[in-house]
Amino acid sequence: MKSIYRGLIVAVSGPSGVGKGTVLAKVEELLEKANPGSVGHSISVTTRAPRGQEKDGVEYYFRTTEQFEQMIADGKIVEYDKYVDNYYGTPSEPLDEMLSKGQDVLFDITIEGSLALNRKFDTDTVTIFILPPSMEELENRLRGRGTETEEKVQKRLEQARNEIKRAGEFEYIITNDDLDRAAGDILAIITAEKLKASKNISAVEELL
């Protein structure tokens, strides 16, 4: 009676400082509350050094550039990108497993990463771009992060502008002016995506 549901990749991008991580943590919390075990967690591989209390296999798999390039050569990375001189990539096997178990997987990844997942997984992916409420607000958030020099803040803002120019390459655009609303918007997108006719034809056949 019940058709096998293949999980959805929710690929979220947006400029640094827009609050992607916080919004996605909220979305994950709400999805888990509604349906425990329904969200899978992808741990990326990176060549950047661990920060603070970060542990290998928890926040990231920390690897050398040689090891990372070997993983690419071995086909173990489904998408990867360079960000501030370091590689970041998504391991293929765990993702395939989660999707075939029917788990949805939320991604906070670069623009190229989201678009690559969309090309590779097509109907199993939805891409979302998060905008800041205003450039002033983004600037405040970038400054609020701590002891960045003025030059670094300006560089990050310039990069943010260049990224925001690409928002139209995504399927959905939301604004993070309020955490609960932004999380609610992403939940609405996920619900709509799952209700697409193309994904529910088997239910019609089963009914008849």
By the rule CB under 6 A, 108 interacts with ligand 5GP = yes
By the rule CB under 6 A, 89 interacts with ligand 5GP = yes
By the rule CB under 6 A, 109 interacts with ligand 5GP = yes
Contacts to ligand 5GP from residues 133-172, by CB under 6 A? none
By rule CB under 6 A, what count of residues binds ligand 5GP? Answer: 12
The separation between the first and the last C-alpha atoms of the chain, rounded to the nearest angstrom, is 11
Residue 176's contacts (CB-CB under 8 Å, 6 or more residues apart) are 14, 18, 19, 23, 130, 131, 132, 133, 182
Question: Helices 20-34 and 179-194, interaxial angle, to 10°?
Answer: 60
Stretch of residues binding ligand 5GP (CB under 6 A), selected from 62-70, 81-89, 131-139, 195-203: 81-89
Return the structure tokens found at 141: 């958030």
By the rule CB under 6 A, 44 interacts with ligand 5GP = yes
Stretch of residues binding ligand 5GP (CB under 6 A), selected from 22-30, 75-83, 165-173, 185-193: 75-83
Question: How deeply is 13 buried, as exposed, middle or buried, from its count of CB atoms within 10 A (0-12, 13-18, 19+)?
Answer: buried
Question: Which residues contact ligand 5GP by CB under 6 A?
Answer: 44, 48, 79, 81, 83, 88-90, 108-110, 113
